[in-house]
Amino acid sequence: MRKKFNHFTVLLAALIVIFSSPIFAAGESDFPPSYYDIVAMFLIAIIIIGFTAIVYYEGRKGVAEEEEVLVKQPSAFAKFRRAITKTTPVETEHELLLNHDYDGIKELDSQIPPWFLWLFYITIFFSIVYMLDYHVFNSSPLQDEEYQLQVKQAEVERAALMNSGAFLNEESVTLLTDAAAIDAGKQIFATNCVACHTADGGGLVGPNLTDDYWIHGGGIKNIFKTIKYGVVAKGMISWQSQLNPKQMQDVSSYIISLHGTTPANPKAPEGTIWKESDSTAVASN
């Protein structure tokens, strides 16, 4: 009966350990589990299954008799099992019987099995290594530090994405006024747009980009939108496949910087007057 209970507890412990680790590790970043998590889970499972097998084997009928036979020439496994469990044979158990009896329940003064002691020593060793690593030499980051590192890493990635303009669209785009952006925009305009809009933005095939009149709405958001999607039916192509969002922002900002300049041959105004106070609204084409 006592042995049966042992099997049950060991099995239960095994199940709890095996199934609890994924529950505790349920953070998003922990999925899929790391290589080390998997190795650790397997090791734990192997240890538990191994000891369950040993305990079960111990409890089997006939093991004691088998052992008698084996005493003369014990197998390597039997030696190993004896060494790690140090169990007392049933026949000599009475020598260990403690001197009390509670309602028929007796107690043996058995030795602590060496495997259990070793497990205990290993945890002590582990705790020392852990403490030195995390708290003395500070060679591994603590939870808080680890979080800060992750935040920093995310910021770097975010900055890289921002630079490529991944978050820029006609709703979020803002007017840039720094010389670098205007210069970049001027370059893009010179390479792609002058054929139809002329170098000074006065207009040729396309309309004058320097006056107050806009066919598709002025302001950074509308201009960005016209460049991004184009007005294909009227001969203005969509540029989103050739320019990234940051480049479209640069060239839009450059076009706005041309406002009020006097082109050599300005085309007559087309569209309607655009007031900058409307610039938060995206005009519907």
Q: Which residues bind ligand HEC (CB under 6 A)?
A: 189, 192-193, 195-197, 205-207, 214-216, 223, 226-227, 231, 234-236, 239, 251, 255, 271
Closest to ligand HEC by CB, 33 or 271: 271
The radius of gyration of the chain from alpha carbons, rounded to an integer in Å, stands at: 39
- CB nearer to ligand HEC: pick between 81 and 221: 221
What is the residue whose two structure tokens read 């009149």? 213
> Cβ closer to ligand HEC: 176 or 251?
251
By beta-carbon proximity to ligand HEC, the closer residue of 51 and 224 is 224
- The residue type of 58 is E
Output phi, psi for 80, to 5 deg: -60, -45
Question: Which secondary structure element, helix H or strand E, spans residue 208, and what is its range?
Answer: none
Shortest reach from residue 213's CB to ligand HEC, in Å: 7
What's the min distance (Å) between Cβ of 145 and ligand HEC?
47
Question: In what helix (H) or strand (E) does residue 131 lie, and over which residues does it extend?
Answer: helix 114-131
Backbone angles phi, psi at 64, to 5 degrees: -60, -45
Peptide bond preceding 245 in cis form (omega within 30 of 0): no
- Minimum Å distance from CB 35 to ligand HEC? 48
State in angstroms the smallest separation of the CB of 162 from ligand HEC: 22
Q: How far is the CB of 223 from ligand HEC (least distance, A)?
A: 4
- Name the DSSP class of 103: T
Q: Which CB atom, from 54 or from 255, has the smaller least distance to ligand HEC?
A: 255
Tokens of 143: 């939870």
